Amino acid sequence: MPQDAAALRSMLSLAPVIPVIILDDLDAARPLAEALVAGGLPVLEVTLRTPNALRVIAEMAKVPGAVVGSGTVRSPLQMGHSVDAGCQFMVSPGASPRLLEAAEDHPIPLLPGIATPTEAMTASEHGYSFLKFFPAEALGGAPVLKAFASPLADIAFCPTGGIDLEKARTYLALPNVICVGGSWIMPADAIAAKDFGRIERLAREAAGLRKA
Ligand code: 3PG
Protein backbone atom coordinates (compact mmCIF):
# COMPACT_ATOMS: atom_id res chain seq x y z
CA MET A 1 0.00 0.00 0.00
CA PRO A 2 1.51 3.37 -0.93
CA GLN A 3 0.14 4.99 2.19
CA ASP A 4 -0.72 2.84 5.20
CA ALA A 5 -4.03 4.60 5.69
CA ALA A 6 -4.96 2.73 8.87
CA ALA A 7 -1.64 3.56 10.53
CA LEU A 8 -1.81 7.18 9.49
CA ARG A 9 -5.45 7.51 10.53
CA SER A 10 -4.68 6.28 14.02
CA MET A 11 -1.73 8.66 14.40
CA LEU A 12 -3.62 11.67 13.02
CA SER A 13 -6.53 10.86 15.33
CA LEU A 14 -4.45 11.01 18.51
CA ALA A 15 -4.81 14.79 18.90
CA PRO A 16 -6.58 17.63 17.09
CA VAL A 17 -3.32 19.52 16.52
CA ILE A 18 0.13 18.49 15.29
CA PRO A 19 2.85 20.90 16.42
CA VAL A 20 5.08 21.76 13.44
CA ILE A 21 8.53 22.18 14.96
CA ILE A 22 11.54 24.03 13.58
CA LEU A 23 14.32 23.43 16.08
CA ASP A 24 18.12 23.34 15.96
CA ASP A 25 18.84 23.49 19.70
CA LEU A 26 19.42 19.87 20.68
CA ASP A 27 19.22 20.69 24.39
CA ALA A 28 15.66 21.92 23.94
CA ALA A 29 14.48 18.81 22.07
CA ARG A 30 13.53 16.60 24.99
CA PRO A 31 11.97 19.25 27.26
CA LEU A 32 10.01 20.63 24.32
CA ALA A 33 8.65 17.20 23.40
CA GLU A 34 7.89 16.46 27.05
CA ALA A 35 5.95 19.73 27.37
CA LEU A 36 3.92 19.03 24.23
CA VAL A 37 3.14 15.45 25.25
CA ALA A 38 2.25 16.56 28.79
CA GLY A 39 -0.06 19.19 27.32
CA GLY A 40 -1.89 16.52 25.30
CA LEU A 41 -0.22 16.84 21.89
CA PRO A 42 1.78 13.62 21.38
CA VAL A 43 2.09 13.72 17.58
CA LEU A 44 5.07 15.90 16.65
CA GLU A 45 6.27 16.96 13.20
CA VAL A 46 9.92 18.02 13.20
CA THR A 47 10.80 19.81 9.97
CA LEU A 48 14.06 18.93 8.25
CA ARG A 49 14.99 22.59 8.00
CA THR A 50 17.80 22.83 10.52
CA PRO A 51 21.22 21.16 10.63
CA ASN A 52 20.30 19.26 13.82
CA ALA A 53 16.76 18.26 12.77
CA LEU A 54 17.50 14.52 12.57
CA ARG A 55 19.22 14.59 15.97
CA VAL A 56 16.25 16.53 17.38
CA ILE A 57 13.96 13.78 16.04
CA ALA A 58 16.09 11.05 17.62
CA GLU A 59 15.95 12.85 21.00
CA MET A 60 12.22 13.51 20.84
CA ALA A 61 11.52 9.90 19.83
CA LYS A 62 12.89 8.82 23.25
CA VAL A 63 10.17 10.75 25.08
CA PRO A 64 7.48 8.36 26.37
CA GLY A 65 4.23 8.83 24.51
CA ALA A 66 5.69 10.93 21.70
CA VAL A 67 4.87 9.97 18.11
CA VAL A 68 7.52 11.77 16.09
CA GLY A 69 7.57 12.36 12.36
CA SER A 70 9.72 14.34 9.96
CA GLY A 71 8.45 17.33 8.02
CA THR A 72 9.55 19.21 4.91
CA VAL A 73 10.52 15.88 3.35
CA ARG A 74 11.38 16.58 -0.27
CA SER A 75 13.62 13.70 -1.36
CA PRO A 76 13.88 9.91 -1.13
CA LEU A 77 17.18 10.37 0.72
CA GLN A 78 15.42 12.32 3.45
CA MET A 79 12.93 9.45 3.76
CA GLY A 80 15.73 7.02 4.57
CA HIS A 81 17.19 9.47 7.08
CA SER A 82 13.75 9.87 8.68
CA VAL A 83 13.33 6.13 9.17
CA ASP A 84 16.85 5.83 10.59
CA ALA A 85 16.21 8.68 13.04
CA GLY A 86 13.18 6.87 14.48
CA CYS A 87 10.30 8.65 12.72
CA GLN A 88 6.88 7.03 12.69
CA PHE A 89 5.58 9.15 9.80
CA MET A 90 6.73 11.75 7.26
CA VAL A 91 5.18 14.96 5.97
CA SER A 92 5.95 16.81 2.75
CA PRO A 93 4.91 20.26 1.57
CA GLY A 94 4.20 18.76 -1.85
CA ALA A 95 3.24 15.60 -3.69
CA SER A 96 5.65 15.11 -6.57
CA PRO A 97 5.18 11.74 -8.34
CA ARG A 98 8.80 10.87 -7.48
CA LEU A 99 8.17 11.39 -3.78
CA LEU A 100 4.83 9.55 -3.78
CA GLU A 101 6.46 6.55 -5.44
CA ALA A 102 9.59 6.62 -3.24
CA ALA A 103 7.45 6.45 -0.12
CA GLU A 104 6.36 2.96 -1.14
CA ASP A 105 9.91 1.76 -0.38
CA HIS A 106 9.76 2.92 3.23
CA PRO A 107 8.03 1.33 6.24
CA ILE A 108 6.40 4.51 7.59
CA PRO A 109 3.53 6.47 5.99
CA LEU A 110 3.89 9.75 4.12
CA LEU A 111 1.43 12.63 4.47
CA PRO A 112 1.97 14.56 1.22
CA GLY A 113 0.96 18.18 0.71
CA ILE A 114 -1.44 19.45 -1.94
CA ALA A 115 -2.90 22.83 -2.87
CA THR A 116 -5.42 22.06 -5.65
CA PRO A 117 -8.02 19.43 -6.65
CA THR A 118 -5.74 18.22 -9.45
CA GLU A 119 -2.89 17.62 -7.00
CA ALA A 120 -5.28 15.88 -4.61
CA MET A 121 -6.50 13.68 -7.49
CA THR A 122 -2.93 12.82 -8.49
CA ALA A 123 -2.11 11.79 -4.93
CA SER A 124 -5.36 9.84 -4.71
CA GLU A 125 -4.48 8.00 -7.94
CA HIS A 126 -1.24 6.96 -6.22
CA GLY A 127 -3.26 5.51 -3.33
CA TYR A 128 -3.06 8.40 -0.85
CA SER A 129 -6.25 9.22 1.07
CA PHE A 130 -4.78 11.47 3.81
CA LEU A 131 -3.26 14.71 2.55
CA LYS A 132 -1.85 17.89 4.00
CA PHE A 133 -3.46 21.10 2.67
CA PHE A 134 -0.61 23.58 2.44
CA PRO A 135 -0.19 26.53 2.85
CA ALA A 136 -3.74 26.48 4.16
CA GLU A 137 -4.45 30.11 5.04
CA ALA A 138 -2.65 31.55 2.01
CA LEU A 139 -4.68 29.25 -0.24
CA GLY A 140 -7.99 30.53 1.08
CA GLY A 141 -8.38 28.60 4.30
CA ALA A 142 -11.36 26.66 5.56
CA PRO A 143 -13.77 27.74 2.76
CA VAL A 144 -11.52 25.97 0.23
CA LEU A 145 -11.48 22.72 2.18
CA LYS A 146 -15.23 23.02 2.69
CA ALA A 147 -15.56 23.21 -1.10
CA PHE A 148 -13.34 20.10 -1.48
CA ALA A 149 -15.55 18.03 0.85
CA SER A 150 -18.22 16.96 -1.62
CA PRO A 151 -16.21 16.34 -4.83
CA LEU A 152 -13.21 14.85 -2.98
CA ALA A 153 -15.28 13.07 -0.34
CA ASP A 154 -12.89 10.14 0.05
CA ILE A 155 -9.93 12.34 1.03
CA ALA A 156 -9.22 13.68 4.54
CA PHE A 157 -6.97 16.67 5.11
CA CYS A 158 -4.57 18.07 7.66
CA PRO A 159 -4.43 21.81 6.88
CA THR A 160 -1.19 23.56 7.83
CA GLY A 161 0.21 27.04 7.33
CA GLY A 162 -0.92 30.24 9.05
CA ILE A 163 -3.28 28.49 11.50
CA ASP A 164 -3.88 29.63 15.08
CA LEU A 165 -6.17 28.41 17.86
CA GLU A 166 -9.31 30.09 16.55
CA LYS A 167 -8.70 29.12 12.92
CA ALA A 168 -8.01 25.56 14.04
CA ARG A 169 -11.46 25.45 15.59
CA THR A 170 -13.02 26.41 12.24
CA TYR A 171 -11.06 23.77 10.29
CA LEU A 172 -11.82 21.04 12.82
CA ALA A 173 -15.54 21.65 12.34
CA LEU A 174 -15.23 20.43 8.72
CA PRO A 175 -16.03 16.77 8.00
CA ASN A 176 -12.96 16.31 5.78
CA VAL A 177 -10.41 17.63 8.32
CA ILE A 178 -8.83 14.99 10.55
CA CYS A 179 -6.45 17.34 12.39
CA VAL A 180 -4.53 20.58 11.82
CA GLY A 181 -0.84 21.42 11.95
CA GLY A 182 0.77 24.58 13.24
CA SER A 183 3.58 26.26 15.08
CA TRP A 184 1.59 28.70 17.22
CA ILE A 185 1.93 26.36 20.21
CA MET A 186 5.68 26.99 20.32
CA PRO A 187 6.38 30.74 20.11
CA ALA A 188 10.03 31.42 19.23
CA ASP A 189 10.48 33.57 22.34
CA ALA A 190 9.20 30.78 24.59
CA ILE A 191 11.67 28.31 23.08
CA ALA A 192 14.53 30.82 23.34
CA ALA A 193 13.67 31.48 26.99
CA LYS A 194 13.20 27.73 27.59
CA ASP A 195 9.73 28.56 28.94
CA PHE A 196 8.38 25.05 28.52
CA GLY A 197 5.63 25.70 31.07
CA ARG A 198 4.12 28.25 28.69
CA ILE A 199 4.41 25.81 25.80
CA GLU A 200 2.69 23.11 27.86
CA ARG A 201 -0.17 25.53 28.60
CA LEU A 202 -0.53 26.41 24.90
CA ALA A 203 -0.48 22.70 24.04
CA ARG A 204 -3.19 21.97 26.61
CA GLU A 205 -5.34 24.73 25.14
CA ALA A 206 -4.87 23.27 21.62
CA ALA A 207 -5.48 19.73 22.83
CA GLY A 208 -8.81 20.90 24.23
CA LEU A 209 -10.07 21.60 20.70
CA ARG A 210 -12.51 18.96 19.63
CA LYS A 211 -12.85 17.26 16.31
CA ALA A 212 -16.48 17.82 15.29
C1 3PG B 1 5.30 25.10 8.02
O2 3PG B 1 5.56 24.40 7.08
O3 3PG B 1 6.08 25.96 8.45
C4 3PG B 1 4.03 24.78 8.68
O5 3PG B 1 3.02 24.80 7.76
C6 3PG B 1 3.72 25.60 9.88
O7 3PG B 1 3.12 26.76 9.49
P8 3PG B 1 2.85 27.87 10.57
O9 3PG B 1 4.18 28.26 11.14
O10 3PG B 1 2.22 28.99 9.77
O11 3PG B 1 1.91 27.30 11.60
pLDDT, position 126? 95
pLDDT averaged over every residue in the chain: 96
pLDDT, position 164? 98
Residue 150 phi, psi dihedral angles, 5° rounding: -80, -50
132 catalytic residue (yes or no): yes
Nearest to 202 by CA among 38, 14, 27: 38
Average pLDDT of the segment spanning 78-89? 98
Whether residue 19 contacts residue 45, with contact meaning beta carbons closer than 8 Å, is answered with: yes
Q: pLDDT > 70: what percent of the chain?
A: 99
Query: What is d(CA 10, CA 201) in angstroms, rounded to the nearest whole number?
Result: 25
Tell me the whole-structure pTM to 2 decimals. Answer: 0.96
Computed from CA positions of residues 163, 203, 113, 189, in that sequence, does the dihedral angle turn out positive or negative?
Answer: positive
Average pLDDT of the segment spanning 12-18? 97
pLDDT over 90 at 169, yes or no: yes
pLDDT, position 208? 97
pLDDT over 80 at 211, yes or no: no
- Structural domains in the chain plus CATH codes: 5-207 (3.20.20.70)
Query: What is d(CA 105, CA 40) in angstroms, rounded to the nearest whole number?
Result: 32
Average pLDDT of the segment spanning 66-72? 98
Helices (H) and strands (E) in the chain, counts: 10, 9
Instruction: Provide the 8-state DSSP code for 178.
Output: -
pLDDT tier, 133 (very low <50, low <70, confident <90, very high otherwise) = very high
pLDDT over 90 at 2, yes or no: no
Whether residue 58 contacts residue 85, with contact meaning beta carbons closer than 8 Å, is answered with: yes
Q: For a pocket test of ligand 1, which of 17, 18, 20 has the largest count of ligand atoms closer than 8 A to its C-beta? A: 20
pLDDT, position 3? 83
59 catalytic residue (yes or no): no
Residues in a beta bridge with 70 = 46, 90
Nearest to 87 by CA among 120, 142, 48, 127: 48
Distance 65 CA to ligand 1 centre (A): 23
State the DSSP string of 114-147.
E-SHHHHHHHHHTT--EEEETTTTTTT-HHHHHH
Report pLDDT digits (tens) over 105-132.
999 999 999 999 999 999 999 999 999 9
Whether omega before 135 lies within 30 degrees of 0, making that bond cis, reads yes
Ligand 1 atom with least separation from CA of 184: 11
Whether residue 28 contacts residue 50, with contact meaning beta carbons closer than 8 Å, is answered with: no
Nearest CA to ligand 1 atom 8: 161
Query: What is d(CA 82, CA 77) in angstroms, rounded to the nearest whole number?
Result: 9
Average pLDDT of the segment spanning 186-192? 96
Nearest CA to ligand 1 atom 1: 161
